[in-house]
């Protein structure tokens, strides 16, 4: 069964649903977080296979000259978005949230304060 990606218009959460080909478009989809039917299909990225060497080469070519990014969150956000695309891997929704906030001009410190659970490191364990 294929997996389809959705975003809930009510709670703004992303979720995946398994549907058969015959169910898709015929079966109502409910948000797994809030049970709303106000959802939209999320188009996923098409992946192009690159070697590890090719990805690293593209990263080094695209990201030279980014000195002083700590003072320019929008440019830093653009760089992070490019880096995410070059990695060729599915990144968590939190990555997009951080990049969107950076591109809007929010500083890394402000983002960390607004999203304290984002790190997921040793400090967040209970």
What would the pLDDT profile of 29-88 be if each residue is shown by its tens digit?
999 999 999 999 987 766 666 677 776 676 666 555 556 666 777 877 777 777 777 666
**Which token pair is 28?**
């109502």
Same domain assignment for residues 27 and 58: no
pLDDT at 123: 46
Which one, of 14, 37, 15, lies nearest residue 27 by Cα? 37
Q: Work out the mean pLDDT of the chain and round it to a whole number.
A: 78
Beta-carbon-side half-sphere exposure of residue 27 (alpha carbons within 13 Å): 12
**Which token pair is 81?**
């978005």
Same domain assignment for residues 18 and 63: no
How many domains does the structure of the chain reveal?
2
Same domain assignment for residues 72 and 95: yes
pLDDT at 84: 75
Same domain assignment for residues 36 and 77: no
**Confidence tier at 122 by pLDDT (50, 70, 90):** very low
Strand partners, 6: 15, 41
pLDDT at 61: 65
Same domain assignment for residues 64 and 108: yes
If you compute the radius of gyration of the chain from its CA atoms, what whole number of angstroms results? 18
Q: Indicate whether 106 belongs to any domain.
A: yes
Domain that holds residue 68: 52-118
pLDDT at 13: 94
Same domain assignment for residues 33 and 56: no
Q: Indicate whether 123 belongs to any domain.
A: no
Same domain assignment for residues 75 and 30: no
d(CA 109, CA 102): 10
Which one, of 41, 22, 21, 23, lies nearest residue 31 by Cα? 41
The answer to whether the CB of 27 falls within 8 A of the CB of 19 is: yes
* Overall pTM > 0.85: no
Say yes or no to pLDDT of 91 above 70: yes
CB atoms within 10 A of CB 126: 2
Same domain assignment for residues 71 and 37: no
């Amino acid at each position: 069964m294929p997996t389809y990606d959705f975003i809930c218009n009510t709670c703004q959460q992303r979720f995946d649903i398994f549907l058969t080909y015959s169910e898709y478009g015929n079966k109502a989809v409910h948000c797994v977080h809030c049970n709303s039917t106000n959802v939209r299909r999320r188009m996923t990225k098409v992946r192009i296979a690159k070697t590890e060497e090719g990805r690293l080469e593209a990263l080094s070519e695209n990201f030279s000259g980014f000195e002083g990014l700590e003072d320019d969150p929008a440019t830093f956000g653009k760089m992070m978005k490019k880096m995410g695309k070059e990695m060729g891997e599915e990144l968590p929704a939190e990555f997009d949230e951080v990049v969107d906030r950076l591109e809007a001009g929010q500083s890394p410190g402000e983002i960390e304060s607004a999203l304290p659970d984002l790190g997921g490191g040793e400090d967040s364990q209970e």
